[in-house]
Amino acid sequence: MAARQFHLGWFLGGGFGVHGWMDQWAGNVAQDWMKPGLILDLARAMERACFDYLLLEDSSFVPDDYGGSTDFYLKNALRAPKHDPMPLVPLLAQATSRLGVVPTVSTSFYPPFLLARLISTLDHLSDGRVGCNLVTSTSSRAAQNFGLDEHLDHHTRYEMADEFIEVVRKLWDSWEPDAVVADSEKGVFADPAKVHTVDHDGKFFKTRGPLNALRPVQGHPVIVQAGGSPQGREFAAKNADTIIGSAQTVPQMKAFRNDIRERAAAQGRNPDQCKVLFLISPTVAPTDAEAQVRADHEAAAAAAHVEPGLALMGSITGIDFARFDLDQPLGEVSTNGQQGTLAQFARQGQGRTLRELASGFSLGYTGLVGSPDRVAGQMEDVMDEVGGDGFLIGTATVHRRYISEITDGLVPALQRRGLTRSAYGHEHFRDNLMEF
């Protein structure tokens, strides 16, 4: 059975930060990373290729996990510096007309009223094309930037997030869809009977409402989530419209998607309304041989320089991997950080040294190597096995050459096979996401 049409997104790890500044194809990114040019070019290329959405990852701290210091992170521009992605959203919306734009927001640190008002405003500015990637945040350093001594425990963070989205949706609904009548003859702009207080008084949040911004164009803008732990999966299955799936093998993808769909159904949702898009890092070149040479080169470089991977994992999990012997298995470790990511890391490490694990680990699927047509065929095979719903480009390599290889090389090959859309069917992000 051939794979049905699937969705495409791009997970911009590093967000509004420094992208590949040492790469030979980086151009002048080291000097102008804080300007919007590269990300605007990415968004325009993605819309040309009819992607569903661009997701801007974000965090609010300078890591010091690896070696107990900020030195490695700052010297290598790893996860810092990073500017706030929110001001980028209107610029990206202005540069495009159909592409969904998804900034990242922490449910642990944003007040629900502020987030509801901001996203509603952006949804109107973009004519119904924004989403919101909800994260609970994992770092104690981030928590300390917002007045806490340590971060909340993993369970409490998700309990808080569940109430957070409940409050935000109540605030979006505080204006009924037809509350604005703009009747100049009667002198009535908004019907007071259709604007309501929220009066929420919960365990973590208290807000009166109503929102002093209009109901979003989409009603409820698209919610994105990336929970990998059991509690994270439950939260995502209950609340998310699209989920960032992280898996290293096709069977893992299939198992993850089936689990999410079962959880969504148990929540009373239609599983088809919860799209799981899996992180991938395709290596595309004019020929299969050239692509394989490039993939082999990247693998060799990763094996020779394991510190960046260990430092990245450290900043995600809060574990200082510099204190472990590289030539011994990792052993038992625990975290108050991203438990799903740590579980993946540990699972891959069974019977392998930390050096071997760090040189071969990826947050996504890396088994896509070849010419555009070959990779398109591989993606078709994967989706045929998994069952849906699509992919998120999630590579660490982001420069204009790679963007073109994906959007102007790989995607046309997918379109020729009828696997991805060649034109948008709707004006709004949510409608395009739920189209198939």
CATH number of 7-180+188-288+368-433: 3.20.20.30
pLDDT tens-digit series, residues 343-369: 777 666 567 888 888 887 778 999 999
Q: Which residue has the higher pLDDT, 175 or 305?
A: 175
Contacts of 397 (CB under 8 A, 6+ apart): 20, 23, 281
For the chain, what is the mean pLDDT? 94
3-state secondary structure of 148: coil
What is the DSSP secondary structure assignment for residue 421, as one 8-state letter?
-
pLDDT tens-digit series, residues 168-222: 999 999 999 999 999 999 999 999 999 999 999 999 999 999 999 999 999 999 9
Please tell me the pTM assigned to this model.
0.95
Q: What is the rounded CA–CA span in Å between residue 22 and residue 334?
A: 33
Is the pLDDT at 336 greater than 60? The verdict is: yes
The reported pLDDT for the residue numbered 1 is 43
HEC letters along the chain: CCCCCCEEEEEECCCEECCCCCCCCCCCHHHHCCCCHHHHHHHHHHHHCCCCEEEECCCCCCCCCHHHCCHHHHHCCCCCCEECCCCHHHHHHHHCCCCEEEEEEECCCCCHHHHHHHHHHHHHHCCCCEEEEEECCCCHHHHHCCCCCCCCCHHHHHHHHHHHHHHHHHHHCCECCCCEEEECCCCEEECHHHECCCCEECCCCEECCCCCCCCCCCCCCEEEECCCCHHHHHHHHHHCCEEEECCCCHHHHHHHHHHHHHHHHHCCCCHHHCEEEEEECCEECCCHHHHHHHHHHHHHHHHHCCHHHHHHHHHHHCCCHHHCCCCCCCCCCCCCCCHHHHHHHHHHCCCCCHHHHHHHCCCCECCCEECHHHHHHHHHHHHHHHCCCEEEECCCCCCHHHHHHHHHHHHHHHHHCCCCCCCCCCCCHHHHHCCC
For the chain, state the CA radius of gyration. Answer: 22
Domain with CATH 3.20.20.30 in the chain: 7-180+188-288+368-433
pLDDT tens-digit series, residues 218-271: 999 999 999 788 999 999 999 999 999 999 999 999 999 999 999 999 999 999
Is the pLDDT at 305 greater than 70? The verdict is: yes
Is the pLDDT at 2 greater than 60? The verdict is: no
CA torsion through residues 174, 178, 182, 186, sign: negative
Please report which helix (H) or strand (E) contains residue 417, including its range: none
